[in-house]
C-alpha cells in the first residue's frame, strides 16, 4: 500500500536556487528581486488561475492581482511554509474571492458543490462504454478538467493537482469536509465519462491566446 | 461518507462497493493492489475497471502540477507599472519596468 499524500503540497515545493535571497531583497524593495520572483513563479500561478477559471483573460488578471498582492504583503511572509505554498494559497484565495464577488459564478459554484441529478455523474458499473486504455495523456486530461462544472473542477484541481487536503479545501470553499470528499469522487467519475470520449472534448481554453511551453 | 470498519470484504456487493468507494480511495494506497479487494475485483471486472480508471486519472492529475502555460508579457508590464506607481506615491523611486 502507498502511504497517504503528505499534507500540504505533496512536498512538491523544494527550495528554488536564489529564491530566498530574492525574497529578502524584494522585502527591501529591490525591483530586480521582484522581477526574479515573478519569473520563478509566473507559470505556476498562471496555470493554477487558468485551471480554476478556465478563461485566459481572467487568469491573466488574477495572476496580476496575485503578484501585486504578493509584493505588497511580502513583509508578512515569515517562512513557516514554502514560499510557493504560501503563494499558491494566496492565489487560490484571491481566485475564490473573485468568483464570489462575481455573484453569478458564486451561484454556479454552489450549484455544482451540490449538483442536480442531471449534473451528477452517471452510475455505470455495467456500462459497455469504452474503458480508459490504462493511460491518459496530460493534455487530454487538461481538456477534460476544463470541461468540468466549476464546483467539481475546483475540488479536483485543489486536491488532485495542487495537493491540498480536504479540510483545507473545505475551509477555502466554505463547505464541509464530507462535501469536499464527495465532490472529488464525483469529479473523478465525471472525468472518467469525459475521457472515454476524448474526441468530444472542447479545445483547451488557452488555445487561441496563451502560449504553451514546449516541454 | 461511510464507515470502512463496517465493510465485510468477503461479502461485498457492487452496490456496497460503490457506496464505500470514495472512502476506500481516501484511505490511501492503491485500491487495485489492496489484498482485501483482490477477490471482489476479480469477480467484478466492471468494478475493477472503474478502480483502474480512477487511479489513472488521479495519477495523471499529479503530473498537471508542473506548469505548462505562460502568461503574456503584458501581465508583468502591468504589475511593474503598478508597483512603480505605488513606490512613487510612497516617495520612493523604483524602476520596475527596468
* Tens-place pLDDT, residues A118-161: 455 555 554 545 566 567 888 899 999 988 988 899 999 999 99
Is the confidence at residue A8, as pLDDT, over 80?
Answer: no
Q: Which domains does chain A have, with CATH numbers?
A: 19-101 (1.10.1740.10), 104-113+137-200 (1.10.10.10)
Domain layout of chain B by residue ranges: 4-63, 70-98
CA end-to-end span of chain A: 32
Closest CA to B83 of A32, A108, A150, A80: A32
Q: Residue B84's closest chain A neighbor by CA?
A: A31
Task: State whether A210 and B26 contact (CB < 8 Å).
Answer: no
Shortest distance between the Cα of A14 and any Cα of chain B, in A, equals 13
What pLDDT sits at residue B37?
92
Whether the Cβ atoms of residue A209 and residue A58 lie closer than 8 Å to each other:
no
What pLDDT sits at residue A104?
47
| Interatomic CA distance for residues A86 and B29, integer angstroms | 28
* Tens-place pLDDT, residues B30-49: 899 999 999 999 999 999 99
Confidence of residue A214 (pLDDT cuts 50, 70, 90): very low
| Residues 6+ away with beta carbon under 8 Å from A56 | A50, A205, A206, A208, A209, A210
Closest CA to B62 of A95, A157, A148, A8: A157
Average pLDDT, chain A: 79
Residues of B numbered 53-92 whose beta carbons fall under 8 angstroms of chain A's beta carbons: which are they? Answer: 53-54, 56-58, 60-72, 74-76, 78-80, 82-83, 86-87, 92
Q: Based on the number of CB atoms within 10 Å of its own CB, is A135 exposed (0-12), middle (13-18) or buried (19 or more)?
A: exposed
Mean pLDDT of A175-199: 90
Closest CA to A147 of A102, A197, A210, A111: A197
| Interatomic CA distance for residues A17 and A187, integer angstroms | 36
Is B39 at the interface with chain A, CB within 8 A? no
Confidence of residue B79 (pLDDT cuts 50, 70, 90): very high
| Interatomic CA distance for residues A212 and A43, integer angstroms | 10
| Interatomic CA distance for residues B77 and A15, integer angstroms | 27
Report residue A78: phi and psi, to 5°.
-105, -5
Residue whose entry in the numeric block shows the C-alpha cell 536564489: A18
Confidence of residue A106 (pLDDT cuts 50, 70, 90): very low
Shortest distance between the Cα of B92 and any Cα of chain A, in A, equals 9
Q: Residue B96's closest chain A neighbor by CA?
A: A31
Q: What is the pTM of this model?
A: 0.78
Q: Count A/B contacts: CB-CB distance under 8 Å.
A: 161
DSSP codes, B27-74: T-S-GGG-GGGHHHHHH-HHHHHHHHHHHHHHHHHHHTTS--EE--HH
| Interatomic CA distance for residues B85 and A68, integer angstroms | 12
Amino acid at each position: 500500500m502507498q502511504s497517504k499524500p503528505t499534507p500540504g503540497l505533496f512536498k512538491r515545493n523544494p527550495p528554488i536556487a536564489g529564491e530566498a535571497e530574492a525574497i529578502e531583497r524584494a522585502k527591501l524593495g529591490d525591483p530586480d528581486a521582484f522581477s526574479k520572483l515573478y519569473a520563478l513563479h509566473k507559470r505556476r500561478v498562471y496555470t493554477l488561475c487558468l485551471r480554476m477559471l478556465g478563461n485566459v483573460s481572467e487568469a491573466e488578471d488574477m495572476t496580476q492581482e496575485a503578484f501585486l498582492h504578493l509584493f505588497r504583503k511580502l513583509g508578512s511572509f515569515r517562512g513557516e511554509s514554502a514560499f510557493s505554498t504560501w503563494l499558491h494559497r494566496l492565489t487560490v484565495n484571491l481566485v475564490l474571492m473573485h468568483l464570489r464577488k462575481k455573484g453569478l459564478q458564486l451561484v454556479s459554484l454552489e450549484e455544482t458543490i451540490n449538483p442536480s441529478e442531471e449534473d451528477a455523474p452517471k452510475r455505470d458499473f455495467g456500462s459497455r462504454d469504452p474503458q480508459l486504455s490504462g493511460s491518459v495523456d496530460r493534455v487530454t486530461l487538461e481538456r477534460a478538467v476544463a470541461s468540468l462544472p466549476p464546483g467539481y473542477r475546483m475540488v479536483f484541481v485543489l486536491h488532485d493537482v495542487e495537493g491540498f487536503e480536504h479540510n483545507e479545501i473545505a475551509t477555502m470553499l466554505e463547505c464541509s469536509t464530507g462535501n469536499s470528499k464527495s465532490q472529488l469522487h464525483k469529479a473523478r467519475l465525471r472525468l472518467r465519462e469525459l475521457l472515454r470520449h476524448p474526441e468530444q472534448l472542447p479545445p483547451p481554453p488557452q488555445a487561441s491566446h496563451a502560449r504553451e511551453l514546449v516541454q | 461518507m461511510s464507515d470502512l470498519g463496517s465493510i465485510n470484504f468477503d461479502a461485498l456487493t457492487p452496490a456496497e462497493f460503490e457506496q464505500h468507494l470514495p472512502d476506500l480511495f481516501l484511505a490511501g494506497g492503491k485500491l487495485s493492489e489492496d489484498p482485501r479487494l483482490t477477490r471482489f475485483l476479480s469477480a467484478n471486472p466492471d468494478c475493477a475497471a472503474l478502480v483502474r480508471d480512477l487511479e489513472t486519472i488521479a495519477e495523471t492529475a499529479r503530473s498537471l502540477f508542473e506548469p505548462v502555460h505562460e502568461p503574456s508579457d503584458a501581465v508583468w508590464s502591468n504589475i511593474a507599472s503598478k508597483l512603480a506607481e505605488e513606490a512613487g506615491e510612497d516617495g520612493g523611486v523604483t524602476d520596475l519596468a527596468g
